[in-house]
Amino acid sequence: MSPADPPFDDPSADLILRSTDGVDFRVFKNILSLASKPLADKVVKTEDADGVQVVKFAQDSKFLDIVLRHLYPVPPTAVTLPDVRLLAEFAEYYDVRALESRIVSYLKDTLEDDPIGVYSIAVTYDHLDIAAKAARLSLQLPISDLKSQLLENSTADPYRELIKYHAACGDAASAVASDREWFPPWEKWGRLIWTSNSDGSSNIRCTNCAAPDFINELPVQIFWPQTHDRDTERSEEPQKRTRFAPWRVWDYLRRSSSVLAHHPTSKAVTEEEFVMDSRFDCSNCILGTREDILEFSRIFAMEVEKAIEQVPLPDCVGDEDEDY
């Protein structure tokens, strides 16, 4: 047997915890008993030559070192997310409530770095508020990148639910690009959203780049001319009003729909380089270009986020606690 690193090599300790790889951790019973009664009552024991009680653990020395440094009054070493899983496993098995605040803190600190790994740990060990937050953050990743080494230690059902949630958010976000209820009213956005009437009148500001809305069933409105006398027989044909905009606008929505389907976050479609695709620069149009289209993309982004918020979280995490 080999001794553990300080401070777990104290010869005056009254208990030895022996790892599966043959490392002896010399500790004090009173510290462990304060941390966990099940741990204090552990019964797998023998006696060594000098009469100090030995408790055999089914974990290796790395596991015991991480746990003991969080139970002892010593500064813990830096931990990785796999280490946090070990702590959570130990805390659940031995009912070590003193570790809970540390575990929660570690999970929150690594949410941005590995939301999938945090989700896996949080669901497994019942930190459901954090799991809900991690599920939301998973949307910052394309569905093909929902991976983590921590998934190897979790069951398939929570991961399957996360994939379903991500896909549902993708459907909801992508659908916004084909919706027109959220469109800025053309009366206020005449510099970018135009109309053309069947009588030939229009407010189109650039005939070089104007294109009709690609959602054919939505942009048409039928109205009677204002000069029509409702009390007399209708002699004029009703007018059809069709929505137009610079080609860049429709192309932006098409591209956004495709991206959002597998990467449902507004951040994926609001970077200026993505919005202002140079292939659709109009040499004749100096109106309704950069600032207007960027503002349009911000309005679109808000609608995308609204749509995503309506998608229920995975069943295994329930509703997110807003006060968390």
Rounded Cα gap, residues 115 and 108, in angstroms? 10
Rounded Cα gap, residues 57 and 55, in angstroms? 6
Give the contacts of 28 (CB within 8 A, at least 6 positions apart). 13, 14, 15
E-assigned strands of the chain?
Answer: 2-3, 15-18, 23-27, 45-47, 53-56, 194-197, 210-212, 221-223, 239-246
Residue tagged 């690609």 (tokens): 214
In the chain the first and final C-alpha atoms are separated, in Å, by: 46
Long-range pairs for 141-148: beta carbons < 8 A, 24 or more residues apart: 141/115, 141/116, 141/263, 142/262, 142/263, 143/167, 143/170, 143/262, 143/263, 144/262, 146/116, 147/116, 148/114, 148/116, 148/117, 148/120
- Among positive and negative, which fits the CA dihedral 83, 84, 86, 87? positive
Tens of each residue's pLDDT in the chain, 324 residues:
899 999 999 999 988 899 999 999 999 888 888 888 777 776 445 566 567 888 888 889 999 999 999 988 888 778 899 999 999 999 998 888 889 999 999 999 999 999 999 999 999 999 999 999 999 999 999 999 998 888 776 777 889 999 999 999 999 999 999 998 888 776 667 778 887 777 777 788 788 888 888 875 434 444 445 554 555 554 455 557 788 888 888 999 999 999 999 999 999 999 998 998 767 677 776 554 678 888 999 999 999 999 999 999 998 887 655 444
